[in-house]
Structure 1
Amino acid sequence: MEKRINVFAKGQGAMKAIYGLATYLSKSNLEESLLNLVYFRVSQVNGCCYCLDMHSKDLRARGEAEQRLYLMNAWREAPCYSDRERAAFAWAEAVTKIAGGHVPDEIYQEAIKQFSDEELIDLTLAVITINSYNRINIAFPNKVGDYQPAKFAAHQ
């Protein structure tokens, strides 16, 4: 692959806007573990290797069971996810896979059972944010494997 622009070095002004979203979300009422699981799932859907590497390391560093990461692609059948997590994954997938139109009513109904209005808005913003990161990393690939969880804190 031809060497691409390092958007994190050359696009600092543009990236500052996305970092602002991440900072906002870090202060939301959504659990950090749930946010990272959503980031991991959306990155699976989008095929973003860099973000999968990053969020799997962040999750493991914060004590997430590896089995839950291994089963994420089959979250609907796996018994290890809570109803809140399942609602978040369904919501995240529906907001990510937009070719079908609006989020289906049944997914919305399950989401509002599990999340307050503010939490659902923040969850939607989290999905939008990780989709943005995924698309940046797909357009301008970073070297995969070098990410260390402690480095993420420097951007906050």
Structure 2
Amino acid sequence: MKLRMNHREANPKVFEIMLQLETSVQSLGLDKTLYELVKIRASQLNNCAFCIDMHAKELQGMGEQFDRILLLSVWREVPIYTEREKAALELTEYLTRLSDAGLPDEVYARVRAQFQESEIAALILAINTINGWNRLGVATGMFPGCFL
């Protein structure tokens, strides 16, 4: 495999801005495990191998159970995620695939039952951020180990 473009070298400011956004999202107080689950799920939907690999390793390094990483793409089918995590994962799916169905009221109601509005706003920004990273990664042909 060959990287289409190294965006870090082509325009370092792009990478810097994305890092600033990531740092800002991390300062909003989201649970780190929840945020990593959201990152992996969006990356799965967007087929971003680089991000799936990076965030799965991040969760593994945090001591997360292997099954919760491995089975994330089928989170509805297994009883290993909390109601809060399920709500965040569902929101992630709908916002990542926004053009398919928008965000149905019943999905928002499930999210609202688990999170305060300030947390929902943070989740929305977190989902937007990982989708931005995914688009940068897929567009430039990033893959696990491409910067080694």
Shorter-chain-normalised TM-score: which range? over 0.9
Which segment drifts farther, 123-132 or 92-101?
92-101
Helix, strand or coil at the partner of 2:55: helix
Superposed displacement of residue 145, structure 1: 3.6
| TM-score when normalising by structure 2 | 0.93
Residue type of the alignment partner of 2:10: K
For the residue of structure 2 that corresponds to 1:75, the secondary structure is helix
The percentage of aligned residue pairs carrying the same residue is 35
CA shift, 1:101, in A, is 4.1
* Distance in 1 of aligned mates of 2:106 and 2:147: 37
TM superposition shift of 1:9:
2.3
Aligned match of 1:91: 91
Structure 2 residue matching 1:76: 3-state secondary structure: helix
Aligned residues: 148
Q: Within the alignment, does 1:36 sit opposite 2:36 as a pair?
A: yes
- The alpha carbon displacement at 1:31 in A equals 0.3
Aligned Cα root-mean-square deviation (Å): 1.7
Give the aligned residue type for 2:97: K
Query: Given that residues 34 and 85 in structure 1 are in contact (C-alpha distance below 8 angstroms), is that contact kept between their aligned partners in structure 2?
Result: yes
Could you tell me which residue of structure 2 aligns to residue 66 of structure 1? 66
Residue in 1 aligned with 2:24? Answer: 24
**Aligned twin of 2:120:** 120
* Counterpart Cα distance in 1 of 2:74 and 2:107: 17
Change (3 A) 1:95 1:11: same
Unaligned runs of 5+ in 1: 149-156
Please report how far the alpha carbon of residue 142 of structure 1 lies from its aligned counterpart in structure 2 after TM superposition.
Answer: 2.6
> What amino acid is the match of 2:69?
L
TM-score normalised by L of structure 1: 0.88
Query: SS of the residue aligned with 1:50?
Result: helix
What does residue 108 of structure 1 align with?
108
In structure 2, the CA distance between the partners of 1:83 and 1:137, relative to structure 1 (3 Å rule), is same
1:116/1:102 Cα in 2 relative to 1: closer, same or farther (>3 Å)? same
Q: Which residue number corresponds to residue 76 of structure 1? A: 76
Compared CA separation, residues 89 and 130, structure 1 to 2 (3 A): same
User: Which deviates further from its counterpart, 43-52 or 100-109?
Assistant: 100-109
CA gap 1:10/1:100 in 2 versus in 1, 3 angstroms:
same
User: Where in structure 1 do 4 or more consecutive aligned residues deviate above 3 Å?
Assistant: 145-148
Distance 2:2 2:33 in 1: 35
Rounded to whole Å, the distance in 1 between the matches of 2:90 and 2:24 is 23
